[in-house]
Amino acid sequence: MRELDHIEEPSPMSETLENLLNETRQFPPPAEFAAAANVTEGAYAEATQDRLAFWEKQAHRLSWAKEWEQVLDWTNPPFAKWFVGGQLNVAYNCVDRHVEAGRGDKVAIHWEGEPGDTRTITYSDLHRSVCQAANALTDLGVTAGDRVAIYMPMIPEAAVAMLACARIGATHSVVFGGFSADALGGRVNDASAKVVITADGGFRRGKPSGLKAIVDEAAAKSPSIEKVIVVRRTGQDVDWDDSRDLWWHDVVETASAEHTAEAFDAEHPLFILYTSGTTAKPKGILHTTGGYLTQASYTHNAVFDLKPDSDVYWCTADIGWVTGHSYIVYGPLSNGATQVMYEGTPDTPHRGRFWELIQKYKITILYTAPTAIRTFMKWGDDIPAGFDLSSLRLLGSVGEPINPEAWMWYREHIGGDRCPIVDTWWQTETGAIMISPLPGVTAAKPGSAMRPLPGISADVVDDQAQSVPDGGGGYLVLREPWPSMLRTIWGDDERFKETYWSRFQDMYFAGDGAKKDADGDLWLLGRVDDVMLVSGHNISTTEVESALVSHPKVAEAAVVGATDPTTGQAIVAFTIPRGGVDTEGDAGEALIQELRNHVAKTLGPIAKPRQIMLVPELPKTRSGKIMRRLLRDVAENRSLGDVTTLQDSTVMDLISSGLQSGK
């Protein structure tokens, strides 16, 4: 609630909102695009008329070994079962069936390493590798239902590893390659993963990163790990445990390429993906098989208007995030797409790298994040202008609200004023896109994700769970179950109910603020809880606070997300040093750097605070809750809001004076 007040208060957020709602530009699809679009207006009415029949039809996009008996079992909410009794194999659907249909020579992945090395992988190549990896995992004793952790750079083996797990019914848990040993170890332990698949390292910003060393550190505290499979990517020296470590080229590339995919139940666990919550322990979001693949496949076809025979698709996400799962691996491959996969960062070896790739591979569909778009804007229009981007026909955005300025820049400077833009709202929990324009139908507004997709029922409600009228704002909810919804939080059904289904009765609480404009189109406003969204990554305030107080010189810490022009939100920490710690002058500055590095080491570089302020006190309510709203005011250089509920109203003066001396 406190956070929603924040939205309605006179604050930069509501100014943004005012600006957003004054945004009147609209961009209908070009006539030619609309005429050839995969999905037309009629899809909305069709889905409204019979939602389950609509999803049943989409499930027929896939190849099932056994047809379902019931589309949805919702007799025990919030635990959904989709396509009850159906059986299928995800890897068969993403690989084998394309080969069987005579498309084996079609390129599945044009892979580009950061240093410029390339690999071209056809669907037949992919089939061979996935079968080999499936056999190798089976030989190591991995069976259906076991968990396998994947901690890899952006190399094709990452996708192969995921598909191999899916093929044998092992549940994968991909951990982003930028995460620390502690973060990796915590996730491995939570899922008791038996095997970790990793690489010696990967290339980022021109240098080899070390992944194997981090796995070694994590494995020391993760007793469930039996084997570690290591892809040689950079060739750097690595420590080796003969009883545990295996090279990918020894066990996978020598394995038999014959493997028959077994069908699994539609509700068989496909993957766990961890997402930060409001408490320190990340939530293991569980996705299952049939419903997930149905919606990943349908949305990839509908939202990106994919023409498998002519499009070259590129999603710039990392495989460690849900975007990489649904829109690099499962969606595109189930649809038989040709895609580009890139290992590195957009500024290596130069700031035109993305545009160079688009020119080189004649990419037609680009899916990236607002934080990247804002960075490109900052680097200057002349950089993309130096490349031929005329192959592009559709642009997508995901991860956080895209401000109208960035949307317009994307349209003009990347999309040549002709490409429709799809601003896609969804979450790790939703598994696939939920709210987005349909590119051949919707007249998009810069900054709005527009409408729920056909078959999805999203709404905005107030505190009393009442749907707000057009023009109103409140909380984003989902009113009906959807095929790719999370099934639970791994090992914690109670937390699943508590987090998503207890705020409002019979509705999924997404945790985002949203507004309906006069036409009923949706504008997303960011998180309403204490999760920060930094460059499109969810980071919980509590996680960063715990990292800070784990440092011996810190007594207490409070963390807020402050609006940042580039990263969306930036982490700002207020820290009370322990008694006796010198904070005067240079010593204070040195302590601040030490703490920033400490957080980066503990949680990973993504969580490194932009700013740390050393303060004598923190503002707390009488019940002892830290008033983050006030700290956010300070962090965003704004005059303070209501301080009357503070336990000690002089605290804010203390903080302000402390800040001055600390600078």
Contact set with ligand WT7 (CB under 6 A): 275, 321-323, 398-401, 423-428, 449, 510-512, 524, 526-527, 533, 536, 538
Q: What is the helix, strand, coil percentage profile of the chain, to 5?
A: 35, 25, 40
Shortest distance, CB of residue 85 to ligand WT7, whole angstroms? 30
Helix, strand or coil, per DSSP, at residue 508: strand
Binding site per annotation, positions: 204-207, 323, 399-401, 423-428, 512, 527, 535, 549, 551, 554
Place of tokens 């929603």: 4
Shortest distance, CB of residue 260 to ligand WT7, whole angstroms? 34
Shortest distance, CB of residue 307 to ligand WT7, whole angstroms? 24
Shortest distance, CB of residue 153 to ligand WT7, whole angstroms? 19
Report the largest interatomic distance among the alpha carbons of the chain, rounded to a whole angstrom. Answer: 74
Binding site per annotation, positions for CoA: 204-207, 323, 535
Shortest distance, CB of residue 103 to ligand WT7, whole angstroms? 29
Strand pairing category for 81-84 and 171-174: unpaired
Shortest distance, CB of residue 514 to ligand WT7, whole angstroms? 9
* Omega before 78 within 30 of 0, i.e. cis: yes
Secondary structure (DSSP) of 534-583: ETTEEEEHHHHHHHHHTSTTEEEEEEEEEEETTTEEEEEEEEEEPTT---
Binding site per annotation, positions for Mg(2+): 549, 551, 554
CA distance 301 to 307: 8
Shortest distance, CB of residue 612 to ligand WT7, whole angstroms? 24
Q: Which of 255, 590, 321, 112 is nearest to 329 (CA)?
A: 321
Please say which residue, 59 or 322, places its beta carbon nearer to ligand WT7.
Answer: 322
Place of tokens 């020296």: 237
Beta bridge partners of 534: 537, 568
CA distance 157 to 126: 10
Q: Which of 399, 390, 386 is nearest to 428 (CA)?
A: 399
Give CA separation, 140 vs 126, 130, 166, 251, in Å: 21, 15, 16, 9
CA distance 530 to 188: 25
Please say which residue, 64 or 426, places its beta carbon nearer to ligand WT7.
Answer: 426
Shortest distance, CB of residue 541 to ligand WT7, whole angstroms? 14
Please say which residue, 225 or 398, places its beta carbon nearer to ligand WT7.
Answer: 398
CA distance 178 to 181: 10
Secondary structure of 188-214 in the HEC alphabet?
HHHHCCCEEEEECEEEECCEEEECHHH
Shortest distance, CB of residue 578 to ligand WT7, whole angstroms? 34
Alpha helices of 448-501 — where are they, by DSSP H?
493-501
564 phi/psi in degrees, rounded to 5: -135, 130
